Structure 1
Amino acid sequence: MGLLLALLFTGVLHAAPDADSPAAMRWAPSRSYHVENYKLRLHFDQARREVFGDEIVTIRPFAAGFDRFCINSEDMTIESVALVRTDGAVEALPHDTDNSCLWISLQRAYGPSDSLGIRIVYHGVPSAGLYFVNPGKDDPGVPPQIYTQGEPEFNHHWFPCWDYPNDMATSETITTVPEGQVVVSNGTLESVKHAGGQVTYDWVEHVPHSAYLLSLAIGPWKQLHDSYDGKPVDYFVDRRVDDATALRTFHLTPDMIGFFSRATGIGYPYEKYDQVTVHDFIFGGQENVSATTLVDEALHDARAEADYPSTILVAHELGQHWFGDYVQGRDWANIWLNEGFATYLTALYTQYHESNDAYRYEIYGDQKAALHADATENNRPIVYRKYVDPMDMLEQITHEKGASVLDMMRYVLDGESAMTIPASQNEIMFHALNDYLAAHHAQTADTADLISSIRSSSGQDLSWFFYEWVFKGGHPAYRVSASYDPARRMEIVKVAQTREVNANTPIFDMPIHLAFFGDNNRQVDRQVRDDAANQEFDIPLVFKPKWVDFDPDDVLFKTVAFPKPDEELGVQALHDPHMMSRLWAVKQLGEHAAADKDCCVQAIDSVLNNDTFYGVRIEAASSLGQSHAEQAKRALLSALGQDNSQVRTAVVGAMGHFLGDPGVRQALLKAMRDDPSYAVQAAAAEQIGRSGSPRAFDALRAVLASTRDINVTIGALNGLAAMKTPQATHVVFTYAKPGPPKRVRLVALTHLQTLKDSLPPDDRQAVTQLVGDAIEDSFLEIHEIGVQLVGTFGLRQFRPEVERDARRAVIMDDRVDAQHVLEGLDKK
């Protein structure tokens, strides 16, 4: 899931206990039956956002005496429930609702040999799970669309189901829509029938899957055809989207399918693969079985390709068709088996498609995101059972730390050399993953199953590794020193783990790569095992090293303090053969450059102009941004001419210390107007707003009037918000009203939280109207920020709407936020 239901209970059956009690541990709900199949007949009232369903859910009891059961259902009026007999006759069944359960009573007891067809006829206006896009006065050109989003527990808001990932069933959707609409769903398209101005699509998914992966995407789509190994690979976009734009986003899909198939040893397991882009999708993407849904912002023009490619999003959602769809994490505590693996597979595709340096740089980005989360109160283990809401588990520890841990696992199992080549079945790790997928296909699994597959396929027991990295939290913080003893011809490397050891964070036990570099390209590599708070390693060495690398490829998820002289860091930054080691040295030089040391600035400047990998040059630009030195300013201005747009974007972002310089302001204005990169233009717009330039307002307003790119628009709004003048705030306020694209409007609304004092005092009525429009918006994130603005501006007339969210919002964080707003209103 790319990159939202959160409820108060584990599954939709269990009420939330006190988080401090032992009962706060979240386990998968026990089942009294297995769902074999969902068969849905559906039609809709688009204008009223209403679904009408006629469902047959086929279940099989686990034990004798089965005479009453619950199926998850919310936001629905149940018209009838009946048992469908084998002869086609139906038997009405008593039923009642309790919270999110539809309780159904059978006329007699059944057992494991019985397969029961339960027919449920219903209608309702879902508060989650099923979303309607309607043209209106704010967005008259948008085509009518309907789409689903089931993860984590949304789908029971639009059809009765076992809405927890620990059961998997086949499915069929028979959906009737007006002529001109196209229905995309899971599996094989069995038939399309036209009658009376209506069209009915019958889709059948033969591979069992969790209920949250059952999907619909309905709209006036244009279909583009592709294939992989004889299977259809199709792309569905709005008919106004040209073919080149669609293919720019999706053209690598068959190549990705081939790579993932070869890496896992499991061929693509579904009947076909469709990808649909929908309007105002609440996430980046959702990996519905054989039919992924993506936000339409994944479509972009050729100019945006360098800075905003959709490769990572497309690869992530596809990767989950092996890890998450084919083999499903049994519960939300183990959801890293879906999301962490998909994030890791995405990085592996980068290694295959681009380079090993690009792979290591992507893992570095994952590490940074996870370290940010780990530095907060959220330094939880990856497998974690004290969450309050399933949504709590869909964040950086699950995704990015999960990927970082898998990268380390590959190092532990296969060593340094294997990590420099694309994933292969010849590797121990990928042979083990094949064993895991083959053993649990179309089933649920947990982390213990993964450990068992590694043990059975490789003979290696990694229980120690999973203990510290998956079942414990935190990360090691290393303090390293290195010195040479010429008398003994020995390099002494001292390693200390300085992070506090507690019940959550252990002393970490890991193999660590050390590299020693001397004159004439001499290099000695050693691996040591660090497993104590303080250790000393004596490495025989016939030369005094010019520099020493500690984990030169940055495999370990860690922080490290390894003080070195400026001269040594400069040599390492320029000459180390390991890209991540050069990047680390540049980062250290940047911290030293904050004191405006000329030697450090000069070394970073040389890296910025000469390093072969863009990621190191990005770090060099950021490091120069920590200096106030004239040389740093000149180096950044010169680097605005570099070919790589990501480097130029970093250069613009690093100019914060020099915004008072007229030459810098002029360069930023030129970059905002003329740079071929949207990302550079957007970054320049933000900096111009912060610069205090007398030309800033007119320049930013001109950009807003001329650009057609959403990223540049957002950059200009960020720049205007940074000015904090009434004139600039008025423009931000204008973009917060209905009309602009929802993502743009969301940015503007968010800025108003900090621009309250810049608004004219007589704008109270306009503010009230704007906040009311936001609260009533169907786009979830705009509604949420509308509730926040009620508190910002103290608008007590919206108290009933906020109270409704505090009681009934589907997502727990929204309920908590609404409660905080109410508390603030009471204080005021």
Structure 2
Amino acid sequence: MTDLKLLSTLLLSAALSATFTSSQAQQTPQPEDPALKIYRETPRKVNDLVHTKLDVRFDYKKHYMYGKEWVTLKPHFYPTDTLRLDAKGMDLKTIAVVKNGKNVPLKFTYQDSLSVAIKLDKVYRNNESYTIYIDYTAKPNELKVKGSAAINDAKGLYFINPDGTEKDKPTQIWTQGETESSSAWFPTIDKPSQKTTEEISMTVLSKYVTLSNGKLVSQKNNADGTRTDTWKQDLPHSPYLFMMAVGDFKIYKDKWRNKEVNYYLEPKYAPYAKEIFGMTPEAIEFYSKTLGVDYPWYKYSQIVVRDYVSGAMENTSATLHGAYVQGTHRELLDAYYDDGRSTIVHELFHQWFGDYVTAESWSNLTVNESFANFSETLWAEHKYGKDVADEHNYIDMQNYLRSPDARTKNLVRFHYADKEDVFDVVTYQKGGRILNMLRNYLGNEAFYKGLNIYLTTNAFKNGEAQQLRLALEQASGLDLNWFFNQWYYGAGHPILDISYKWDDATKTQTVYLQQSQDGQIFKLPMAIDIYAGGKKTRHKVWMNNQHDTLTFKLASKPDLVNVDGDKILLVKKTDHKTLQEFAFQYFNAPLYLDRLEAINAVADKQGEKDAQKVLIAALNDKYYGLRNKAIRTIKLDNDAIRNAAQPILARLVQTDDNTLVQAQAIAALGSLKASGNMNLFKQALSSQSYAVQGAALNAINLLDPALAMNLAKNYEADNKGGLTAAMMNVYATSGTDAQWAFVYKQFDEAAPQAKYNALDKFSAMAGRVQKPEYAQQGISQIKDFGIKYKPQGAGDAAIKFITNIKEKREQMHDDATVKAADDAIKQINDTK
């Protein structure tokens, strides 16, 4: 499953934090959920899946799937004459055991519409298998289930625009199995500890393309205009990794060594297939060599679908992506590593960690998702350089540290209210950071040898964190219980205070380390780099206690003592360096985080020369992420900074090789409202980058709103991303009812994060348009948004903006819209 920070709802949650955190803080603490006291044991194995064969066809009108299944099983160990299968919300017409090619009906009980208890025809022992035949109808749209933060729906099978009535949206069918939703479209033992081979035959309209796990072994044209495609997966995998997709897709055929690598895209995005997914063969090769285990499946396909309920899903040999990953050449100009590419490699790495070896239970989800998260940093380091990897890793750590309740949760979690709760920043972002720490501690060679032992020992089976520990210990010869006990089976993180004292009389540098978190005290191996006399000396130390004092005898006072020289620790720290020491750190310490810490440290000291030197230098930093950070940090109302920065910003607009830096530089210059920059902004409008065009239009709007209005109209036929947002800003500020249709359409079609970002301007325009029906359309949109994402805090934000509209409409004596606002607020409040 995709890295959480790419999920709309979680991105939305982060953006909304400023809106509702204060109100949350004032709430009375909730009593502990009794479900958290339940030990979540690994499910018992009574029967084991062996092979699953399906024959399915679809009813687009009813949103039904008609299925026939032949599932082969055997007792796990003890003899049994019963079988329980998960089967959610189905019509079960026939259940029989196959004997000598004939179906012998069996008695079954299906009372809760979630699982079926079957009485077998005899007692079976674990040296004999049996095959059950089931004739059933899946009714996913009638299933009452809930999703999670990671997966916002759990009905398993999805019909997208089945009647073709939604303009510009393709008709598709696709499935989503994780966590236990495959049993919404075929009866199975829907647990990650089960493994089965599979064969799926799909009968579909001949105009459609299909995709499933494994190999397409046959295609048969039928007399009624349909075609039956049969896909076969000969290697065992877990039921949640089964997948189907049906629709109008164009297939771009690539390859890795002699294996198929295919990309399934909507036809309009097919010309950009290589640009979107073209790094895949290189990534397969890199991961295969790094792990010492060649990509294990028959093929690797990636498909992009509409209205996906998560970010992406690592179905075995057939990863499914949400539509955000696809784009035209112009859109992709503004898409950097975290705008889809990290997800592509995340899901690919799952083909080893998750599919080849699967977590034995959701409690041990870390051996799936933490590794996939870690792989994003690994690939970034290999492909784009250490600065990109370190930024990615740092952002993940901040996402974890900002989560209010994450510090109370173990990584391996045997107590949770719902299995869906394990898909969180602890399993993903914290888990990935922990693996990166472990790699740093052991060294690459030992670490990857340990991963190889884990994978080969548990191939096509299940694994857990203890098996990972044993494999890494076998490789390294080191005891790792201390590491796993505190990071895997304990909760929280160090809160570290670092201070310094130099004694000139004794030439002694003292470093004081103090952990102040509640709960356990962490053992922290770390590097301390001391810069003195024009050279750097590294000291490898351990912090073992809550308070540790370290002393170093030196020839002279050091220029810098850099604790955690590798910037690898998962820690919330306060570092009491001086301004001069942070400035020295920026210019002399090598890592992304060294430089970022310095930029952050000088941000509120911009009146001082050392701070100004750092910020002006950072405008030219070798890494675009820090150039961007510096532009956002500088205060152009400071004369010294403005005078030094303006020519650099102008040059960045014209020559920087990163479109986001160009756009940020334009925004900074635009904030000056200096008419002398108008030509620069107009020139930037000719850029192929939507982000650059959008920044230029916003800058022009600050200087000449009427001109910006006229220019914006030129882009109504071709706008995306930053340009669309800028047009909405211009129209919302100066537009009339004539521009409402454009603004409304863009808001209606925007992704959740983009909708949240546009709420202020959208509501402002809805408040001042002349036609009451337009204002009411705006209220309806904001209300629907608030209700859908109320669990993420959007309800409060929606009420705030609807109230603003209401106040403006009261001044216009628009009683109908005022009533619509009151009704909308009530609906949001009444929604649970």
Residue 189 of structure 1 aligns to which amino acid in structure 2? L
Name the counterpart of 1:800: none
Is contact 2:363–2:422 with CA below 8 Å preserved after alignment? yes
Name the counterpart of 2:552: 539
Change (3 A) 1:631 1:732: farther
Is contact 1:788–1:821 with CA below 8 Å preserved after alignment? no
Residue 166 of structure 1 aligns to which amino acid in structure 2? S
1:166 aligns with 2:203: no
Task: Compare 570-579 and 757-766 and name the one that shifted more.
Answer: 757-766
Alignment of 1:598-613 (within 5 A): 598-609=609-620, 611-613=621-623
Is contact 2:500–2:576 with CA below 8 Å preserved after alignment? no
Name the counterpart of 1:129: 156
Is contact 1:590–1:620 with CA below 8 Å preserved after alignment? no
Structure 2 regions of 5+ residues with no counterpart?
Answer: 8-30, 142-154, 804-824
Change (3 A) 1:760 1:210: same
Residue 155 of structure 1 aligns to which amino acid in structure 2? S
Residue 83 of structure 1 aligns to which amino acid in structure 2? V
Is contact 1:794–1:825 with CA below 8 Å preserved after alignment? no
Residue 419 of structure 2 aligns to which amino acid in structure 1? P
Is contact 1:280–1:296 with CA below 8 Å preserved after alignment? yes
Deviation, structure 1 residue 744: 9.0
Task: Find the aligned partners of 2:682 and 2:743 in 1 and give their Cα distance.
Answer: 27
Correspondence for 1:205 among 227, 233, 241? 233
Task: Find the aligned partners of 2:601 and 2:355 in 1 and give their Cα distance.
Answer: 43
Deviations 1:235-293 (A, max 9, x none): 222233343x0011121111111110111111111011111122232333211000111
Is contact 1:775–1:786 with CA below 8 Å preserved after alignment? no
Deviation, structure 1 residue 409: 0.4
Change (3 A) 1:328 1:307: same
Task: Find the aligned partners of 1:774 and 1:132 in 2 and give their Cα distance.
Answer: 25
Alignment of 1:170-185 (within 5 A): 170-185=197-212
Alignment of 1:256-655 (within 5 A): 256-309=283-336, 310-373=340-403, 375-376=404-405, 379-414=408-443, 418=444, 427-498=445-516, 500-502=517-519, 506-519=520-533, 521-593=534-606, 596-609=607-620, 611-625=621-635, 628-634=637-643, 637=646, 638-642=648-652, 643-645=656-658, 648=661, 651-652=664-665, 655=668
Correspondence for 2:718 among 702, 707, 710? 707
Is contact 1:236–1:276 with CA below 8 Å preserved after alignment? yes
Instruction: Tell me how many residue pairs correspond in the alignment.
Output: 765
Is contact 1:697–1:720 with CA below 8 Å preserved after alignment? no
Name the counterpart of 1:758: 767
Correspondence for 1:195 among 200, 206, 222? 222
Alignment of 1:26-65 (within 5 A): 26-64=40-78
Task: Find the aligned partners of 1:400 and 1:408 in 2 and give their Cα distance.
Answer: 13
Is contact 1:700–1:720 with CA below 8 Å preserved after alignment? no
1:143 aligns with 2:152: no
Task: Compare 146-155 and 307-316 and name the one that shifted more.
Answer: 307-316
| Matched position secondary structure for 2:74 | strand
Task: Find the aligned partners of 2:698 and 2:248 in 1 and give their Cα distance.
Answer: 37
Change (3 A) 1:573 1:742: closer
Length-normalised TM-score, structure 2: 0.82
Task: Find the aligned partners of 1:142 and 1:232 in 2 and give their Cα distance.
Answer: 29
Deviation, structure 1 residue 768: 7.2
Task: Find the aligned partners of 1:700 and 1:101 in 2 and give their Cα distance.
Answer: 60
Task: Find the aligned partners of 2:734 and 2:44 in 1 and give their Cα distance.
Answer: 55
Task: Find the aligned partners of 1:694 and 1:388 in 2 and give their Cα distance.
Answer: 53
Is contact 2:406–2:425 with CA below 8 Å preserved after alignment? no
Name the counterpart of 2:243: 215
Aligned CA-pair RMSD = 3.9
Is contact 2:583–2:614 with CA below 8 Å preserved after alignment? yes
Is contact 2:400–2:406 with CA below 8 Å preserved after alignment? no
| Matched position secondary structure for 1:564 | coil
Task: Compare 156-165 and 86-95 and name the one that shifted more.
Answer: 86-95
Is contact 2:691–2:721 with CA below 8 Å preserved after alignment? no
Is contact 1:152–1:391 with CA below 8 Å preserved after alignment? yes
| Matched position secondary structure for 2:518 | coil
Deviation, structure 1 residue 308: 1.0
Alignment of 1:672-751 (within 5 A): 673-682=685-694, 694-695=705-706, 698=709, 702=713, 705-714=716-725, 716-717=727-728, 730=740, 734-735=744-745, 740=749
Structure 1 regions of 5+ residues with no counterpart?
Answer: 6-16, 419-426, 796-819
Task: Find the aligned partners of 1:225 and 1:826 in 2 and give their Cα distance.
Answer: 47
Task: Find the aligned partners of 1:793 and 1:542 in 2 and give their Cα distance.
Answer: 63
1:114 aligns with 2:128: yes
Is contact 2:302–2:318 with CA below 8 Å preserved after alignment? yes
Is contact 1:618–1:646 with CA below 8 Å preserved after alignment? no
Deviation, structure 1 residue 18: 7.3
| Matched position secondary structure for 1:162 | coil
Deviations 1:793-812 (A, max 9, x none): 999xxxxxxxxxxxxxxxxx
Change (3 A) 1:330 1:693: farther
Deviations 1:175-212 (A, max 9, x none): 11111211111012211111212211111111211111
Change (3 A) 1:316 1:21: closer
Length-normalised TM-score, structure 1: 0.83
Deviation, structure 1 residue 483: 3.1
Is contact 1:71–1:160 with CA below 8 Å preserved after alignment? yes
Deviations 1:59-99 (A, max 9, x none): 21235552333211223212221111244343343332314
Residue 590 of structure 2 aligns to which amino acid in structure 1? P
Name the counterpart of 2:18: none
| Matched position secondary structure for 1:592 | coil
Is contact 2:649–2:666 with CA below 8 Å preserved after alignment? no
Is contact 1:40–1:53 with CA below 8 Å preserved after alignment? yes
Change (3 A) 1:552 1:742: closer
Task: Find the aligned partners of 2:716 and 2:790 in 1 and give their Cα distance.
Answer: 23
Task: Find the aligned partners of 1:78 and 1:164 in 2 and give their Cα distance.
Answer: 21
Alignment of 1:240-255 (within 5 A): 240-243=268-271, 245-255=272-282
Task: Find the aligned partners of 1:23 and 1:524 in 2 and give their Cα distance.
Answer: 50
Deviation, structure 1 residue 488: 2.9
Name the counterpart of 1:2: 2
| Matched position secondary structure for 2:44 | coil
Is contact 1:46–1:132 with CA below 8 Å preserved after alignment? yes
Deviation, structure 1 residue 105: 2.5
Deviation, structure 1 residue 710: 4.1
